A and B are shown apart, each in its own frame.
Chain A
Amino acid sequence: MWHSPPPAVFGRQVEVIGRRPSALSGTQPGRLYDNIVAIRGATQHTGAVTQTDAVPVIELLGLSVRFGKREILRDLNISLSGRMVGLLGPNGAGKSTLIQTLLGFCPVSAGTARVLGHDISRERSRVRALVGYMPENDALIANMTAVSFVRMMGELSGLPPEAALERAHEVLFYVGLGEARYRPLGTYSLGMKQLAKLAQAIVHGPRLLILDEPSNGLDPPARQRMIRLIRDMKDSGEMRLLLCSHLLRDVEETCEEVLILKKGTIVHYSNLQQERSADKRFVEIETSGNDTGFAEDLDRIGCECTAVAPGRFKMIVPAQFELKEIYRLAAGRDLQLRRLNYRRDTLEDIFLKAMAD
């Protein structure tokens, strides 16, 4: 019944080469994939990507949303251009409200936002035509079969009936529900319902896919399958994705940019793609002894250093930096180095730091 999608050979090639930004000098990491897609000769893909590449995927311009007296989103300003953007935040941070605002469900109280260059207030219909949305909660018509449900959603998005039927079959096979497509949705398991929601979101070939907790309630194999599908769609080059999830691992595995919200404001933005591809080394050291002023000394020799706890320092060392310098500095201060290891901040570290600030 379940079919995992085959490995996207074309996507995998892109990914492997994409880890070497130096191979194409002067190319921004975000654009690297597109160039490679063009090299592979996928003309139908490059057309779509080039069109959306010229403008940011999501632009928030002083966006504020208010429900009654309560301000849910407060003066958000950011421009996101990554192929896949992660949206993180604790419960009540305003993630779902931001998604609903982008879809034109919530009225904007101040500022505006653009999705793929289109204003969400003035070009609502255009924005919705370009977007596919997979909601967090159960949102299926129980007594319809999957194929007629997905077909109807395709038709509502503007596909002619015959094309919608063909696409419905295709996307149901793609997400792995091919064998179960004539079963009523009410008889589906939770994992199958998630896949059916994904199928309806991509049936019309959106340019931006918004996924709200796509792996919610899935067991590990089903979660893996979902993540693989998301990666495959990202690598296809046909669409941009916005992933809202509580599972930091999902976001870390798939996203290029991460936006963290807290109490309706942006508390952190991180370009994971750039950080991954940057030629920097992240070092963590533990010391014993009087380390007053040690962080400043490390800064002076070119490390970007922060003291995370007494006797613990994290730093980014430049490309040509020799670690001997750290040992030399510690020896000069009669400071004992108990441990030195390479470690970069995980998304969880970034998230927890953003929450603590």
Chain B
Amino acid sequence: MAVYKRNYKGYCGALTATWPRFLILTRYSYARLFQSRFLVIFLAACLFYPIGCAAFIYLSHNEKFLVLLQMPQGQLLAINGRFFYYYCIVQGAMAYLLTALVGPSLVSPDLVNGALPLYLCRPFSRAQYVAGKLSVLLVLLSLITWVPGLLLYLIETSVSGWDWGWENLWMAWGIFLGLAAWIVVLSLIGLALSAWVKWKIAAGAMVLGVFFAGAGFGSAIDSVLRTNYGALIDLTQVAHTIQADLLHFDSGTEMSVWDAWLVLGVACVLCLVLLARRVRAFEVVK
């Protein structure tokens, strides 16, 4: 800017639409996140298992390879609900670790730095703020969960024929719905804990702790009270129950699927309440 022009001027240009502005936060968050080399490496590592699965699907239909192994077709692991159930378990676990890594850095820095009034004094709502931060996690987790899962389904369809794909369409639906529900819960827990615990490291530990503590307390309740209701606070088991049901696989759990959906719903509502209480432009000191 030229020195002679250095006096105040207003802005008279065009303005962008209001509703997609939450994506601005997403964009800037990605720019910040991908400055971390560790995160990039971890994200790449999260894709190893899907790549391995894709290779397995391809090779299990490759006659030359099967001849080389001296194995008749169909003797290798079948590509069915069980295969995709284990895929969901592995990628769900990776999504959980990624949430613990990324989630705490989303809201807590804004709270620590007191930056929320700066966001919210603009034509930008609290809901948009949460949507912007949530999108960061949802997109990242989608990239390592249901997106490669559906790609595996399409690869299997392409090598087994469209009839297989049509007959097993419920698998695609199961992969998408089971993993989408899981990543929504993970993202909300990651954000809520990031908003609740201002210290980033503590928030990361809390994300890990919620699941481990849930599993521990659940087992303790089950053994002390001799019931099965303890499993309801073990979110991992809840998610496995839903995924097993959607992929027609018997995981051996005694939890009702409706109970599992209810628990996920309650967890989401609790996280949203927590976010609504914390994501504010100011704090009322009682």
Contact = CB atoms under 8 A, between A and B. Distances in A.
A346 B162 CA distance: 87
Closest 10 A/B residue pairs (Cβ): A205-B11, A158-B15, A205-B10, A133-B121, A238-B10, A105-B281, A236-B8, A173-B1, A129-B123, A139-B114
A103 B281 contact: yes
Nearest to B21: A156
Contacts of A67: 284
A232 B8 contact: yes
B122 A153 contact: yes
Contacts, number: 135
A32 interface: no
Residue among B1, B24, B117, B120 with max Cβ neighbours from chain A (10 Å): B117
B7 A133 contact: no
B121 A131 contact: yes
Given A133-B117, A163-B13, A100 B282 contact: yes
B151 interface: no
Interface residues of A, number: 55
B128 to A, nearest CB: 9
Contacts of A129: 15, 122-123
B83 interface: no
B9 interface: yes
A235 B26 CA distance: 38
B122 A105 contact: no
B70 interface: no
Given A139-B113, A142-B113, A6 B122 contact: no
Contacts of B1: 169-170, 173-174, 178
A239 B21 contact: no
B37 interface: no
Contact of B117 (A139, A203, A232, A239): A139
A6 to B, nearest CB: 6
B17 to A, nearest CB: 8
Residue among A140, A152, A200 with max Cβ neighbours from chain B (10 Å): A152
Interface string A30-56: 000000000000001000100000000
Given A156-B124, A160-B13, A173-B1, 15 more contacts: A3-B6, A5-B7, A8-B7, A11-B7, A128-B122, A135-B117, A135-B121, A138-B114, A139-B117, A153-B122, A156-B24, A158-B15, A158-B18, A163-B13, A204-B11
A100 B114 contact: no
B8 A202 contact: yes
Interface string B9-36: 1111111101001001100100110000
Nearest to B28: A152
A352 interface: no
A233 interface: yes
Interface of B: 1, 3-4, 6-16, 18, 21, 24-25, 28, 31-32, 109-110, 113-115, 117-125, 280-282, 284, 286
A135 B114 contact: yes
A68 B281 CA distance: 18
Nearest to B280: A105
A44 B25 CA distance: 32
A153 B123 contact: no
B118 A139 contact: yes
Given A129-B123, A156-B124, A173-B1, A232 B282 contact: no
Contacts of A125: 18, 123, 125
A144 B281 CA distance: 20
Contacts of A178: 1
